[in-house]
Amino acid sequence: MASETLQPAGGPPPPLPAERLCCRCDPTSLGFATTAELAAAPQLIGQQRALSALEFGASIRQPGFNVFAHGARGTGKHTAIAERLQARAAAEPAPLDWLYVNNFAENHRPRAIGLPPGEASRFAKAMEELVDDLRAAIPALFEAEEYQNRRGAIDEEAKNSQEQAFEALQERAQAQSVAILRTPMGFALAPQRGGQVIKPEVFNALPEAERREIERSIQELQKELEHILQQLPALEKTRRQKIRELTAEMAELAVAAAMGEIKRQFAGSAELTAYLEEVHKDLVAHVDMFLEAAQAEAQMAVGSPDRRDARLRRYGVNVVVANEAAGDGATAGAPVVFEPHPTMANLVGRIEHIAQMGALVTDFMLIKPGALHRANGGYLVLDAVRVLTEPFAWDALKRCLANGAITIGSPAEQLSLVSTISLQPDPVPLSVKVVLIGDPIIYYLLVNLDPDFARLFKVEADFDDRADRDEATVALYARLIAGIAATRRLRPLAAGAVARVIDELSRWSEDAEKLSLRVGPLTDLLCEADFWAGDAGAEVVAAEHVDKAIAQSIYRADRLRARSQEMIARGTVLIDTEGAVVGQVNGLSVLSLGSFSFGRPTRITARVRMGSGKVVDIEREVELGGPIHSKGVLILSSFLASRYALDAPISLWASLVFEQSYGGVDGDSASSAELYALLSALGEVAIRQHFAVTGSVNQLGQVQAIGGVNEKIEGFFDTCLQRGLTGDQGVLIPAANVKNLMLRHDVVAAARAGRFHIHPVGTVDQGIELLTGVAAGERGTDGRFAGGTVNGRVEAKLNAFAATRRRFGVAGQGEEPEAAGEGA
Amino acid sequence: MSGRFTYRRVIIGQGAITGSGHTVEIAVRLAAIGSASLKGLFVEEAGLLDLADLPFSTAIKRGSAGPRNLSRTELEQAFLLSARRLRQELAERARRLRIAWDFAALRGDIVSALTSECRSGDVVVLAGFSGGVTAADAVAALRRIPPEAAGVLIAAGQDQRKDGPVVVIDEGGDSGQRIVELGEEIARGLDLSLIVIAHGRRGAGDRPPAGQEILRLEAGSVGEVVRALTRLHPWCVVAGMAGPLFDDDQTARAILSASAAPVLLMRGEPAAPQPS
């Protein structure tokens, strides 16, 4: 059996020598006095995998190969991505300029036109000049004598036509003594005598024949009058049509003369040529607008910021993307855009509105570009969490990438929250490489939960958070530190300070054989050390300044740690560091508060009696234990059953509890401690309280590595230190965690002085021997553990429980004797 | 200075079909400039009422499908509304410029009413005449105004440009000079530009430019005067009634037709110069 190979050989392991407790960098091995002697290294070390992925993602031109860069915070993702992309982009051609112009056929659908770099601004300026020219030229043309004469002739002709018709009628009417009168109801014909309308009584006194004659004359004249009046609108229409034709003819002259140059300048673009033809037609058709605008502008206050009439905006050019033109064969480069606030509007652009007469209105000049417009043809870098947390931004980004076009829309429109005049601008073709930056958890969540994600972000750039600690890497780090010091204008660091920083980087990585790659916190540490060096009036940052920076950083954050230790010291939290107790052991836990973590001891107790093989995890029962903790308890239950109850049902009821723990407990790092407490309770062997224990356990009785080993050891050390180190105290850690040890100086010093001990433990048997001072015991040839050993005692107790349970069954005392006890 | 034209009262007569806001405005302004009082007359045209009482009376509008019966009741209602509107306009504008005013409504014909109301030193406003047939009526009415009237303002029926120039027709001599001075006074009072059309060969073109004057046109013939008026879109035209242009009916009709703006014609010799 595998378990047989795990039996201790030669008793419990000795404590680790002090030099195994922390890997110290020797300043003399660095080969320099201060970092001023070093050439700066690039800010990215040990990220070959991520950089290779980034390079691949940026190079491949197929759709969907966008990049998601993930890694721990502070690993230099932003800097690395910015440097790499900017270097690539500088060698790439500048992309097209984009502008929006009016769509004369469908005003609500502004037209997007792409132009070679630098051309959009040039075109906008040319159009502005064209409109300015026409603002002067058109009114002048229509005030000129030629136009006035021709228009006067048309008016005169129309007037004459009307007058002639009226005069002829009036002459005939006068010949028949009939007057044409204007009344509020229109024209009327009246019989006259002596220039006056005949009065009714006079008319009625006339002979009937004369009355009928007058009526007949009037009826005839009225028919003529009717005919003339019915002709008037047609005459007026003809007059207006002639004026329109004259106006168009004159406008054509002005517009053709003004537009010749701009048409020649931009003849190379088919889209612009077509647009300019539309402008030409529209200008001729709307020449009146220039005349009205001239009047309106004249009435505006002199000195008002923009005296240009709003009606002329229809000929405006809204340049949404203007790239620099390459000059003399040099390339201006592709854009690299970082959008720190990726709202939907900031990504895809927006359509602004202005209030006019109480209503919100807009036009194509109010289209504002988004980051996708600016990055089109280049690279767009976004923070994944920010994109995901901005309403509609993620969907909008995916839609644009999937469609290969930027479509401007607003959340309000999508939700039908506003009802106002809006636009549907032409989509702009999109060719962009998007780089999302985020935590690994975000990446894995997106892969699992968003089916579009894998299709659109096919390249994963995984930034590591640690590198191997070897001579070459340490040298590279020294140069990195020199580079940061130079960039941030810090004092040079002495070799001792660099060595201290290197040690701290190992501690951050929780591994004596690794170095943290988190450049952000490293920079913060260097800045703080520089501050303390300045505070001390030093020219060079020394090791003591780094130590002070670390200590001050901890001091600022460790109020709760101090409070926790104080509660132990005052006996509020019960922790024994002396003596021996059955079923009680000091476990260790880690509390993380923001960026600061610290360890503290926790009393774990176990109680046992006869039962049906159930180990009750009280933390789980009250829902304070997490699933991993529960898993650890179940594993140790399985270990008990498989080791001691080989030929009988395990007849045990046991309870485990974290004493004075009122918050949640999770993780399995206390499972070995729980097992020790259980074995102590079953074997009735006391556990020495000057030890604390950490480590998880598997079903085979092996003690496995855990996290936060340094903080846990230091937590128990602080408790013991407060009470006075006795020389017996120490911590049992998994042997696999020895490589993770990067303990504080004072802990290492105490260990070196033999006043505190770190014991690496590989198996439960090793641990229980250390904790109890009693041999764990091995199975003899009879298949039994030797009596007097811990294992022998445990087995005997379990056999006794099993026998008692059998007796209960025979006596018919009930099948579940523990039920009454459990319910009590 | 050879003395200025003065007038004591401006009388405006309007009927239901001859009124316009612009005419009222110009009458009020004229009264303000001349420190004169204002008299408004609304005339219910008796001829129209007689016509409405005839058995076959009908009226037809421009562009309408056919004639409709002319009812006396409807006509009287239209008179009432127009009278009320004229009174209100006069009151508001006169009050704004602090001008003494009064108003009366009567029945008859406008020209007769104005003729009988006219006193020495009045400027009579004949409203609602513009173009074609009605220009002839305007000239006929002009000839009926009593000689003691200081002047006649023949107003167009339609509203004109509010910012057009004051155009003066200078027919030379002292009378022409005084016409120019009156035009300048009107232009200054209204903050408008002044354009002088110098007609004939009597030295009008040699005068020094008047204040407010921005342009002087030489018009050798009636046709040139007519063309100039057609193109200038004036706010109002000021001329002498006794000159050759308005002495002749045909010429007067042509000029009234050409000017879409009110024409102020001042009669005879001015009053003696004021001591101040």
Inter-chain touch B17–A182, beta carbons under 8 Å? yes
Q: Sign of the C-alpha dihedral, residues B22, B25, B27, B29? A: negative
Residue A687: partners with Cβ closer than 8 Å, 6 or more residues away: A580, A581, A582, A583, A584, A585, A676, A677, A680, A771, A772
DSSP state of A512: T
Q: Angle at CA B11, nearest 5°, toward B7 and B13?
A: 155
**Distance between CA atoms of B225 and B230, rounded to whole angstroms?**
9
pLDDT tier at A5, thresholds 50, 70, 90: very low
**Distance between CA atoms of B8 and B124, rounded to whole angstroms?**
11
The answer to whether B170 and B176 are in contact (CB under 8 A) is yes
Is A163 in the B-facing interface, judged by CB distances under 8 Å? Answer: yes
Classify each residue of A250-265 as buried b or exposed e, where b means 16 or more C-beta atoms within 10 Å of its C-beta. Answer: bbeebbeebbeebbee
Residue A330 confidence (pLDDT) above 80: no
pLDDT tier at A1, thresholds 50, 70, 90: very low
- Give me the residue label for tokens 């009008």: B204
Query: Collapsing DSSP states into helix, strand and coil, what is residue A680?
Result: helix
DSSP lists the bridge partners of residue B217 as: B197
Q: What is the pLDDT of residue A61?
A: 85
**Distance between CA atoms of B80 and B44, rounded to whole angstroms?**
9
Residue A819 confidence (pLDDT) above 50: no
User: How confident is the model over B66-125, as pLDDT tens digits?
Assistant: 788 888 898 999 999 989 998 999 999 999 989 999 999 999 888 888 899 999 889 999
Neighbours of B238 (CB within 10 A): 29
Burial of A571 (0-12, 13-18, 19+ CB in 10 A): exposed
Please indicate whether residue A576 or residue A74 has the higher confidence score (pLDDT): A576
> How far out from the chain centre does Cα B54 lie?
33
Q: What is the pLDDT of residue B274?
A: 40
What distance in Å separates residue B60's CA from the closest CA in chain A? 5
Mean pLDDT, rounded, for A762-766: 94
Q: What is the pLDDT of residue A3?
A: 37
User: How confident is the model over B191-249, as pLDDT tens digits?
Assistant: 888 998 888 755 555 667 777 777 788 887 888 888 888 778 888 899 988 888 888 88
Classify each residue of B11-35 as buried b or exposed e, where b means 16 or more C-beta atoms within 10 Å of its C-beta. Answer: bbbbbbbbbbebbbbbbbbbbbbbe
Residue A406 confidence (pLDDT) above 90: yes
Give the mutation candidate from B58, B112, B134 for the A interface (greatest A CB count, under 10 A).
B58
Give the start-end residues of each E strand in A611-665: 614-617, 652-658
The amino acid at A5: T
**Distance between CA atoms of B231 and B212, rounded to whole angstroms?**
19
Q: What is the pLDDT of residue A375?
A: 95
Active site annotation includes A237: no
Is A187 in the B-facing interface, judged by CB distances under 8 Å? Answer: yes
Mean pLDDT, rounded, for A392-398: 93
Measured between CA atoms, the residue of chain B closest to residue A215 is: B56
Kind and range of the H or E element at B230?
Answer: helix B222-232
Nearest-CB residue to B74 (from A163, A185, A197): A185
Domain annotation for chain A: domains and CATH numbers: 15-46+465-557 (1.10.8.60), 77-95+323-462 (3.40.50), 119-262 (1.20.120), 576-776 (3.30.230.10)
Mean pLDDT: which of A4-8, A139-143, A454-458, B205-209 is highest?
A454-458
From chain A, the residues in CB contact with B62 under 8 A are: 186, 229, 232-233
What is the interface pTM, i.e. ipTM, of the complex?
0.75
Inter-chain touch A188–B62, beta carbons under 8 Å? no
Inter-chain touch B63–A232, beta carbons under 8 Å? yes
DSSP lists the bridge partners of residue A604 as: A585, A658
Measured between CA atoms, the residue of chain B closest to residue A214 is: B56
Is A238 in the B-facing interface, judged by CB distances under 8 Å? Answer: no
Measured between CA atoms, the residue of chain B closest to residue A186 is: B61
Kind and range of the H or E element at A168?
Answer: helix A145-175
- Mark which residues 142-161 of A lie under 8 Å from B by CB: 148, 152, 155-156, 159
pLDDT tier at B260, thresholds 50, 70, 90: confident
Active site annotation includes A669: yes
Identical fold for domains B7-61+70-158 and B160-276, yes or no, is: yes
The answer to whether B16 and B78 are in contact (CB under 8 A) is yes
Which residue in A19, A36, A23, A21 sits closest to A495, CA to CA? A36
Q: Sign of the C-alpha dihedral, residues B188, B189, B195, B200? A: negative
Fold designation for B7-61+70-158: Rossmann fold (3.40.50)
**Distance between CA atoms of A753 and A750, rounded to whole angstroms?**
5
Candidate from A183-197, A415-429, A557-571, A656-670 with smallest mean pLDDT:
A415-429
pLDDT tier at A538, thresholds 50, 70, 90: very high
What distance in Å separates residue A343's CA from the closest CA in chain B? 52
Please indicate whether residue A223 or residue A543 has the higher confidence score (pLDDT): A543
pLDDT tier at A329, thresholds 50, 70, 90: very low
Give the start-end residues of each E strand in A185-316: 186-193, 196-197
Mean pLDDT, rounded, for A22-36: 92
Nearest-CB residue to A183 (from B75, B227, B231): B75
Nearest-CB residue to B59 (from A185, A191, A198): A185
Residue A305 confidence (pLDDT) above 60: no
- Sequence-ordered alpha helix ranges (H) in A409-470: 411-414, 440-449, 451-456
> How far out from the chain centre does Cα A577 lie?
48
> What's phi and psi for A716, nearest 5 deg?
-70, -35
Is A806 in the B-facing interface, judged by CB distances under 8 Å? Answer: no
pTM of the model: 0.65
**Distance between CA atoms of B255 and B226, rounded to whole angstroms?**
6
Residues comprising chain B, all counted: 276
Q: What is the DSSP string of A8-37?
A: -SSSSPPPPPGGGS-----GGGT--SBGGG
Q: Give me the catalytic one of A121, A589, A637, A669.
A: A669
Inter-chain touch B62–A184, beta carbons under 8 Å? no
The amino acid at B39: K
User: How confident is the model over A596-655, as pLDDT tens digits?
Assistant: 899 999 999 999 888 877 777 777 777 777 788 788 778 888 888 888 867 777 888 888
Tokens (6 digits) for B274: 């004021």
Q: What is the pLDDT of residue A41?
A: 74
Q: Which sequence spans correspond to the domains of chain B?
A: 7-61+70-158, 160-276
Residue A588: C-alpha distances to residues A20, A696, A737, B29 (Å):
21, 11, 14, 102
User: How confident is the model over A415-464, as pLDDT tens digits?
Assistant: 666 666 678 899 999 999 999 999 999 999 999 999 999 999 999 999 88
Mean pLDDT: which of A244-253, A295-304, B241-250 is highest?
A244-253
Is A219 in the B-facing interface, judged by CB distances under 8 Å? Answer: yes
Candidate from A35-44, A246-255, B40-49 with smallest mean pLDDT:
A35-44
Fold designation for B160-276: Rossmann fold (3.40.50)
DSSP lists the bridge partners of residue B170 as: B198
Residue A822 confidence (pLDDT) above 80: no
